[in-house]
Amino acid sequence: MVGERKKIAILGSTGSIGTQALEVISAHSDAFEVVVLTAQSNADLLISQAQAFRPSHVVIGDEAKYDQVKQALSALPIQVMAGSKSLEEVVVLEEVDVVLTALVGYAGLLPTVKAIQAKKTIALANKETLVVAGAFIMPLAKEMGVSILPVDSEHSAIFQCLMGESHNPIEKIILTASGGPFRGFNREKLSTVTRAQALKHPNWTMGAKITIDSASLMNKGLEVIEAAWLFGLEQNQIEVIVHPQSIIHSLVQFEDGSMKAQMGLPDMKLPIQFALGYPNRMSSDFPRFDFRDFSQLTFEQPDIATFRNLGLAFEALSKGGNMACMLNAANEVAVEAFLNDQIGFLAMSDLVEDSMVKGTFLAQASLEDYIATDQLTRISAQNWVKTHNKG
């Protein structure tokens, strides 16, 4: 019906994407209604969000905080649930139209599967879902007639560039990368970088995990794998270029050599709003790009020899099967270990490579295989951390 508000479920509402999505929804309360909010452990922020947006359901992943959330919201008509299984229950609710998956890491996989099976539109900010199980997810979405709308700025850019071009073959896509806080560093300098330095991204405000991934170029590697699944591309059709200003968010080159780029100031609210409002563009008061503020836009090749994660991701994509699942699980363990000051910055790549070499490779994998691969890789990676702990 015309004028009916889209009902949104936000998985990971207290994170960077989730909080910005709520800003977008607040600005367009005539178009959107929040019906589900979930968080893993930030009970205080989840409570305040629920009080402000009055969803029908709230999920706190950390079951130890259930009583706190339940009591705080007891005066409101909100059903409070707890635990990871509850995520899989709320995404299938009849009232939900769009599921924004803003969870961090592998945790987004099973709720996204359930949402697709329930034929919900997916606004995908959780790239790991496709990295881990793209060969399962994309055919499932096609079978269910489900749209997967990318929220990552780079994939949103590609998606926007391809609008109206469905009949035109893609020659290649070019994903842009800021280069992160350590652009230009050699391995000697990287060997001494600290957690605090790695968490200072020059252009984007993001959560800790994705910020570290950006610093190591693993985030760009995960985006390469996600793009291959989203847009049906081979490895040789995907290129990465470092663009420190983060104004051009990505480009598409067609078979006649023509290129289309999507540009704008680095602000995640724009791709979030585009995905939630699709197929319509909605007005916004976001800051506008002005060419006079940028005397030049620059580009350079990524240093894959120094930042090995990007090369490992291309390798995982080329190998196929469950290799990218291993890459992702090992990386999640590596980032957590680095954030806990257990291993150094360069050791993260060593851990990921070790896991890819030693893991059991399956050329064809089921959803159960991906789940098992994730669990086994994490155990192996955690053992690696124990034997290489710099403390």
Residue 209 CB contacts under 8 Å (≥ 6 apart), including other chains: 104, 105, 332, 335, 339
- pLDDT band at residue 1 under the 50/70/90 scheme: very low
Q: Is the backbone of residue 162 left (phi > 0), alpha (psi -120 to 50) or beta?
A: alpha
Sign of CA dihedral 69, 42, 25, 142: negative
- Over residues 153-196, the pLDDT tens digits come to 999 999 999 999 999 999 999 999 999 899 999 999 999 999 99
Which pLDDT score is estimated for 194? 92
> Tell me: the pLDDT tens digits for 244-256?
999 999 999 999 9
Q: Is residue 281 within 8 Å of residue 224, measured between CB atoms?
A: no
- 301-318 pLDDT, tens digit each: 999 999 999 999 999 999
pLDDT of the residue at 200: 84
Residue 2 has pLDDT above 60, yes or no: no
pLDDT given for residue 205 in this prediction: 65
The strand pair at 57-60 and 32-39 is best described as parallel
Task: Examine the pLDDT at 201 and tell me if it is beyond 80.
Answer: no
Annotate 343-356 with DSSP letters as a single string.
S-TTHHHHHHHHHH
Indicate the burial class of 90 (C-beta count within 10 angstroms; 0-12, 13-18, 19 or more). Answer: buried
| Of the candidates 378, 308, 313, the residue with the CA atom closest to the CA atom of residue 348 | 308
Backbone angles phi, psi at 33, to 5 degrees: -135, 130
Residue 383 is predicted with a pLDDT of 97
Residue percentage of the chain with pLDDT more than 90: 95
pLDDT, tens digit (0-9, with 9 covering 90-100), for 39-59? 999 999 999 999 999 999 999
User: Does residue 30 have a pLDDT over 80?
Assistant: yes
Predicted confidence (pLDDT) at residue 127 exceeds the cutoff of 70: yes
389 — pLDDT class (breaks 50, 70, 90): confident
What's the pLDDT score for residue 132?
A: 96
- Is the pLDDT confidence value at 260 over 60? yes
pLDDT in tens, 83-123: 999 999 999 999 999 999 999 899 999 999 999 999 999 99
Q: Where are the alpha helices (DSSP H) in the chain?
A: 16-27, 43-53, 66-72, 84-90, 109-117, 128-144, 153-161, 187-190, 195-198, 208-216, 218-231, 269-277, 308-319, 323-339, 347-358, 367-388
Q: What is the mean pLDDT of residues 224-239?
A: 98
Average per-residue pLDDT for the chain: 96
Confidence of residue 327 (pLDDT cuts 50, 70, 90): very high
- CATH superfamily, domain 6-150, is NAD(P)-binding Rossmann-like Domain (3.40.50.720)
Q: State both tokens at 292.
A: 């006079």
